[in-house]
């Protein structure tokens, strides 16, 4: 379980995250939603070690991980993906996956002279693992394509695949559905559910598409203006008046309740 204890992140006088305490239960899929500028990405960045918090603590499984750099969190199995997928565009899809695990034997110049068979075995192991990941994500047909030629949605699947090359425990996904077509979004959603059910991944998902959140998440945390506004099952959250007001303003709330969840899926004004 990952717990934020009264986390603050200030940029000058601006309180982007303003006293957030929340729990992300192990082995569950938790949604993090809120209007634009609510502080979701900033909180992700604090948890994933990209920003030190101004104050407060983050723990994982009882261990204090506050302010640890991303590579140390990566080694502990905590990974964050980005709104814009980052791939090595001139390398093949397969090579992008094989790049992920750090400290490969072949990375040291000395070992390239002294341990050639060890390097070959390591490469074979990585290749087999990458092939498994491609099959899991239904990307095998793209294995030799240059990653830069993939569609936005395929790049997001590849990013999910990169988390599978290491023993991830907790994965933070930032707007994995943004700009992705419905078919690929379903593939991404299915992969998340399978990783959760079959491999025990813990997920925390920032997403504006409420249908996607409702399909995937066990519970949803709502942030607004740097604070936690509400927490509950997706069905409760889409009917929570405070949440609707935070997204759209009081005057529109009756229309939202009548229209159902998809309206919350629209990017807030």
Residues that bind ligand ATP (CB under 6 A): 11, 14, 16, 34, 36-42
Of 38 and 165, which has the nearer Cβ to ligand ATP?
38
CB 48 within 8 A of CB 2: no
Of 206 and 238, which has the nearer Cβ to ligand ATP?
206
Q: Work out how close the CB of 14 gets to ligand ATP at its nearest, in angstroms, rounded to a whole number.
A: 6
Of 136 and 172, which has the nearer Cβ to ligand ATP?
172
CB 192 within 8 A of CB 203: yes
Which segments within the chain are labelled E, that is strand? 2-11, 14-24, 29-33, 55-60, 63-64, 78-80, 170-174, 202-206, 219-224, 227-232
Q: Work out how close the CB of 58 gets to ligand ATP at its nearest, in angstroms, rounded to a whole number.
A: 16
Of 165 and 206, which has the nearer Cβ to ligand ATP?
206
Q: Work out how close the CB of 46 gets to ligand ATP at its nearest, in angstroms, rounded to a whole number.
A: 10
**Cα 7 from Cα 200, distance rounded (Å):** 27
Residues 6+ apart with CB under 8 A from 214: 234, 235, 238, 261
Of 42 and 96, which has the nearer Cβ to ligand ATP?
42
**Cα 257 from Cα 239, distance rounded (Å):** 6
Of 37 and 70, which has the nearer Cβ to ligand ATP?
37
Q: Work out how close the CB of 140 gets to ligand ATP at its nearest, in angstroms, rounded to a whole number.
A: 33
Q: Work out how close the CB of 101 gets to ligand ATP at its nearest, in angstroms, rounded to a whole number.
A: 29
Which of 130, 138, 199 shows the shortest CA–CA distance to 171?
Answer: 199
Of 38 and 168, which has the nearer Cβ to ligand ATP?
38
CB 170 within 8 A of CB 60: yes
Output 124-133 pairs: Cβ under 8 A, ≥24 positions apart.
Answer: 126/98, 126/101, 126/165, 127/94, 127/98, 129/97, 129/165, 130/94, 130/97, 130/98, 130/165, 131/94, 133/97, 133/161, 133/164, 133/165
Q: Work out how close the CB of 4 gets to ligand ATP at its nearest, in angstroms, rounded to a whole number.
A: 14
Q: Work out how close the CB of 227 gets to ligand ATP at its nearest, in angstroms, rounded to a whole number.
A: 12
CB 79 within 8 A of CB 169: no
């Amino acid at each position: 379980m990952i717990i934020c204890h009264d986390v603050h992140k200030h940029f000058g006088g601006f309180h982007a995250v303003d006293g957030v305490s929340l729990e992300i239960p192990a082995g569950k899929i938790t949604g993090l939603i809120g209007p634009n500028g609510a502080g979701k990405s900033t909180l992700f960045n604090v948890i994933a070690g990209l920003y030190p918090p101004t104050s407060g603590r983050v723990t994982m499984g009882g261990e204090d991980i506050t302010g640890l750099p991303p590579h140390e969190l990566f080694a502990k199995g905590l990974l964050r993906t980005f709104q814009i997928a980052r791939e090595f565009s001139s390398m093949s899809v397969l090579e992008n996956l094989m790049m992920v695990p750090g400290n490969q034997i072949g990375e040291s110049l000395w070992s390239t002279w002294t341990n050639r068979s060890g390097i070959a075995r390591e490469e074979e192991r990585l290749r087999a693992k990458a092939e498994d990941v491609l099959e899991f994500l239904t990307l095998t047909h793209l294995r030799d394509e240059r990653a830069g030629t993939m569609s936005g949605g395929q790049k997001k699947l590849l990013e999910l695949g990169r988390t599978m090359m290491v023993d991830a425990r907790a994965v933070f996904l930032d707007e994995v559905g943004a700009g992705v077509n419905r078919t690929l979004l379903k593939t991404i959603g299915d992969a998340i559910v399978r990783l959760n059910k079959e491999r025990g991944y813990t997920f925390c998902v920032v997403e504006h598409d409420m249908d996607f959140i409702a399909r995937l998440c066990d519970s949803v945390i709502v942030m607004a203006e740097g604070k936690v506004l509400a927490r509950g099952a997706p069905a409760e959250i889409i009917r929570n008046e405070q949440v609707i007001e935070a997204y759209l303003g009081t005057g529109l709330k009756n229309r939202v309740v009548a229209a159902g969840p998809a309206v919350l899926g629209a990017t807030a004004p």
